[in-house]
Structure 1
Amino acid sequence: DIFVENNDIENFLLALEKDEAIKYKELLEQVSSNKLIDVVQEIVYKANEAFNYKINAKLNLTLLDHLNFAWQRQKNNIIINYPFLDELRFIYPKEYDFSKKALHYLKKKMKPDICFDESELGFLVLHIHAALKNEKVSNVLLNREIVYTCIEFIERKFNEKIDRKTIYYSRFVKHLEYAIHRYKKGIQLQNVLLNSVKDICKNEYYISKELNIILKTKYHIDLDENELGYLTLHIYNLKNRNK
């Protein structure tokens, strides 16, 4: 086992904001299994160790809430699969590796009360990643939706599938995520290669401008020319390295 029993997590829980602590207390009253509460706290404690104490304490709240709801779903034979698990394994390898161990520990400790389905692995990865980046899980899921929307559009323009297990795909995804983050924070980049990119990668630049129309229309995200120039380079690599 990677986990140590009976860790003192009281100081870690104190990191919750006041309103979050209130929500957590309310959630504790709703959860019927003290065992589940203990296991989630242990997972959060070890996640904090594994990721150099960068895990947001809200993971105590969000993960317990998710797993408690997942328990209720499974009692009613409702299984929700995360469809892009292989992609998560490639893009977030550290979160994926930790989540695999966490799921094994969760299933082991919760027997015979319940056996969480393997479909929970993808959601564990997303929760760990959100806590690591200090984001809401809903924002992480939205970013994943935006990525899928963009990739599907690019595939239609290329008229071919993009290999999601290449470093070029990973770079594209991470750049797009950071570009969205910069837009929301009002951070602007200077792209000294912009004019050259426009001239050399004309088709890819046009695709990036079309993508921005989708982002602006559907998600209210409007990337400037500097960001589109960098995005163009990643699209160029996707197209040419995919062959």
Structure 2
Amino acid sequence: MVKVIKSLNNNIVLAETEKNKEVIIFGTGIGFKKKKGDLVNASLAKKTFYPEKSIQASQLLEQISAEVLTVTEEIIVFGEELLKRKLNQSILFSLSDHLQFAINRDQNKNYEDNPLQWEIPTLYNEEYKVGKGALKIIENRLGHILPKIEASFIALHFVNAQIDGHSLGDTMEIMKVIKKIIKIIQRLFDINLDKTTINYSRFITHLRYFIARHKMNKSYAMDMDKSFREIIQEKYKKSYNCCLVIKEMLENEYNWGISNDEIIYLTIHIERIVRENK
């Protein structure tokens, strides 16, 4: 059971758990006639969202309408279905805050530029599809036609929600590193990678977690068989040499220590996407 702090509408409740943590609960009729102090059975919720420790949900929600929260929850469900994965629960708070701001900005016709907006559709193709779908949901539910640039902003929220413990700023930094790695691959192999393939999407996901680990100073816990490592080095020489160039860039620019096993796994991914493009 959770204790109601505020009923936002018939289907959304801001509540407090037994451990005094704020939580937002979505469920049909779950907020009907509920007032502060009432108890609600959390098991009846369709969806439950917990904020990050640094977020005071009650204060944030003072700036966000119940309609925007409802649409945000619908977009999150849509995104999880398209991406086929569960997202960090805190996305409700960051995304609804962004959407409320975007709608207010749209009413004033005051649009903001995103310096990485042209990179997002190619680096994060699936998340960008979520962003485009979100714009349609917002138009259908709220009547606001937001500029296409917002699809890129929304996509970044979904990228960020797939990596625990990262801020949107961290996600932007990860994106910049990925861009540098892609440039090295395309230059050395003299190709333009097809950004719409499954293998490319898998490669970007691999890079995302690879970079996130190093940003968080987490070691790669894998003891690869030496003979397997030698086979990969010999069989995929050009991809392996490409990885050595990437390794040198990461060590020089970011002071990251890249293990031999990480290089081998990166080699396999690069070999796969290069073969696909040739």
TM-score interval for Structure 1 and Structure 2 normalised by the shorter chain: 0.7 to 0.9
Q: Assess if the C-alpha contact under 8 Å between 1:58 and 1:131 holds in 2.
A: yes
2:264 maps to 1:232: no
Tell me how far 1:25 sits from its aligned partner: 4.2
Distance 1:80 1:108, change over 3 A: farther
- Residues 153-175 of structure 1: CA deviation (Å, up to 9, x unaligned): 11111122122223332232222
2:73 maps to 1:41: no
Unaligned segments of structure 1, at least 5 residues: none
Tell me how far 1:121 sits from its aligned partner: 1.2
Secondary structure, counterpart of 1:223 in structure 2? coil
Distance 1:87 1:120, change over 3 A: same
2:78 maps to 1:78: no
Q: Assess if the C-alpha contact under 8 Å between 1:208 and 1:231 holds in 2.
A: yes
Q: Assess if the C-alpha contact under 8 Å between 2:131 and 2:155 holds in 1.
A: yes
2:96 maps to 1:64: yes
1:7 to 2, 7, 11: 11
Q: Which residue of 2 aligns with 1:163?
A: 194
- Residues 193-235 of structure 1: CA deviation (Å, up to 9, x unaligned): 2111222222221211110122223334332110001111222
**Partners of 1:117 and 1:61 in 2: how far apart?**
22
Which protein is bigger by CA-based radius of gyration? 2
**Partners of 2:51 and 2:112 in 1: how far apart?**
31
* Paired amino acid for 2:188: K
Question: Greater share of helix residues, 1 or 2?
Answer: 1
Distance 1:136 1:43, change over 3 A: farther
Give the aligned length: 227
Aligned-pair Cα RMSD in Å? 3.1
**Partners of 1:180 and 1:100 in 2: how far apart?**
26
Q: Assess if the C-alpha contact under 8 Å between 2:121 and 2:128 holds in 1.
A: no
2:195 maps to 1:191: no
- The structure showing larger relative contact order (alpha-carbon pairs under 8 Å, at least 6 residues apart) is 1
Task: Provide the TM-score with structure 1 as the length reference.
Answer: 0.76
* Paired amino acid for 1:195: E
2:152 maps to 1:122: yes
2:249 maps to 1:214: yes
**Partners of 1:76 and 1:181 in 2: how far apart?**
36
Q: Which residue of 2 aligns with 1:147?
A: 178
Comparing 144-153 and 216-225, the one that deviates more = 216-225
* Paired amino acid for 1:137: L
